[in-house]
Amino acid sequence: MHLRIPPDSVRLLLATAAVGLLSTGCAYLHSEASTPRLHSFTKQELSNEFWAEGACFGDINRDGVADVISGPFWYEGPTFKVRHEYATADHVSKSKRNGAEVTFRGYKGGLGNENEYSANFFAHSADINGDGWTDILILGFPGENSWWFENPGKGVTTHWKRHVALDVTDNESPRWVDITGDGRLEIVCSSKGHYGYASPDPKNPTAPFTWHPLSPDKKYHRFTHGLGVGDVNGDGRMDLLEKDGWWEQPASLAGDPVWKHHPVSFGLGGSQMYAYDVNGDGLNDVITSLAAHGYGLAWYEQSKVGSEIHFKEHIIMNKEVSENTYGVKFSQLHGID
C-alpha cells in the first residue's frame, strides 16, 4: 500500500517535490554533467484535512488557469485559496490526541497509530463527455470502483453528477493514458485477474467504460505492484509494462486478442513504470522502482541481438547511500512521474 503522510501536509506538493528529485536523477543519466544541481520548492498548504492519496490539476472553470483537484474538492488557481466541493465530503474520523478523543473531517491518514486509507487514490482531469468542460476521473481504493464526475459548467454550486467508469480497478499503479493509439484516453490496470484497459464510449460517455482484457487470467489482484505503458520495441504501438516483463501490442486490437508476453524481471514490483530512451541510443529503456515497500530505483538498458530484446539493470538509488552518486536514499517508492 501507500506511504502514510500526515494530513497537515499537502500531498500534491510533497509528491511534486519527490518527483522533482526523481526527474532530476533521470536527467543526470542522460547528460554528461558531473555536478548535481539543487532544485528547491515552496510549499503552499491547501488544507489540513486528509481526503485523498493523490491529486491532479486541470482548468475546471475554463478561465485559462490551472486549478488543483484533491479529494472531493477543487481549488481555484492561481492562488488556490477558494475551495469548491464537487463531491460529497461527509466522512468523519475520530482519534485520540493528548489523551482525549477528537472528531474531525476527512480520513485519519497518518494520525497516531490507527492509519486509514481514503477512498480516493488517483485523480485525473479530462473532458470525458466532450462538452468542453473538464471533468474529474477518480480511481478509488484498489479493487473498488473507478468513477468520473461530470462538470456541470459555470455557476453551478451543487455536487457534480457521478458516473461509474470501471467496477473493479486492480493494481496499485493504474494509468489514464492512450494505450490504443486512437487519440482517446483509457484506464489501464488489471481487473478480475487480467491486465487490460477500459475505454469510454464517445457516443455514450455516461455508460460504464468497456473492459478489454489483454492477458490471460493470471490472478493479478488489487494490490499487485508495478504498471506502465510505452513503446518498448519501437514499432509505434504502446505496450504494457509490468514487473515480470512486457506485453506487446498486436497490429490489430479487433476481438480483444491476447498480447504477446515477453518475460523480464523488473524487480519485485514498484509503482509507475516507463519506457524511455535514457542513454540516447534510439532504444527505449525501462525506468521503475524495484520494491514499492522497500528500496530501489533503476533503469534497464535495452539492447538488441537480431530481433531479440535484452535488458541490463542500472541502479539509480538503492538501500545504501553509497550506491547513489548524489547521496539520496529513501524507501517506499509508491509514485514516480
145: in domain: yes
Q: What is the pLDDT of residues 80-99, one digit of tens each?
A: 999 999 999 999 888 877 88
For position 17, what pLDDT does the model report? Answer: 36
pLDDT digits (tens, 9 = 90+) for 158-214: 999 999 999 999 898 899 999 999 999 999 999 999 999 999 999 999 999 999 999
Phi, psi of 216 (to 5 degrees): -65, 170
Compute the average pLDDT of residues 20-48.
66
- Judged by DSSP in three states, 196 sits in strand
Please tell me which residue, 82 or 22, carries the higher pLDDT value. Answer: 82
> Is residue 117 domain-resident?
yes
Structure letter (DSSP) for residue 15 = H
**Residue 314 is assigned to a structural domain of this protein:** no
User: What total number of domains does the chain contain?
Assistant: 1
How far is Cα 209 from Cα 172, in angstroms, rounded to an integer?
Answer: 19
pLDDT for residue 2: 39
Residue 114: predicted pLDDT: 67
What's the DSSP call for residue 2? P
Look at 58 and 17; give whichever has higher pLDDT.
Answer: 58
For cell 510549499, name the residue: 43
64 falls within a domain: yes
Asked, for residue 2, whether it belongs to a domain, the answer is no
Range of the domain at 117: 11-275
Q: What mean pLDDT is predicted for residues 227-234?
A: 97
Q: Is residue 65 part of a domain?
A: yes
- Lowest mean pLDDT segment, chosen from 78-82, 215-219, 282-286: 215-219
What is the average per-residue pLDDT within 284-300? Answer: 90
Residue 158 CA to residue 155 CA, distance in Å, equals: 9
* Separation between Cα atoms, residue 212 and residue 257, nearest integer Å: 9
Q: Which residues make beta-bridge pairs with 191?
A: 194
**Most confident region among 10-14, 84-88, 100-104 by mean pLDDT:** 84-88
CA-based angle 42:43:48, to the nearest 5? 175
CA nearest 160: which of 59, 69, 87?
87
Residue 140 within any structural domain of the chain = yes
- Looking at the domain assignment, is residue 48 inside a domain? yes
Mean pLDDT of the 36-59 span: 91
- Cβ pair 124, 137 in contact under 8 A: yes
pLDDT tens string 128-157: 999 999 999 999 888 899 999 999 998 888
Q: What's the confidence (pLDDT) of residue 25?
A: 41
> Over the chain, what is the mean pLDDT?
86
Angle at 20 between CA 16 and CA 21, to 5 degrees: 125
Sheet holding 55-58, edge to edge: 55-58, 67-70, 73-75, 83-85
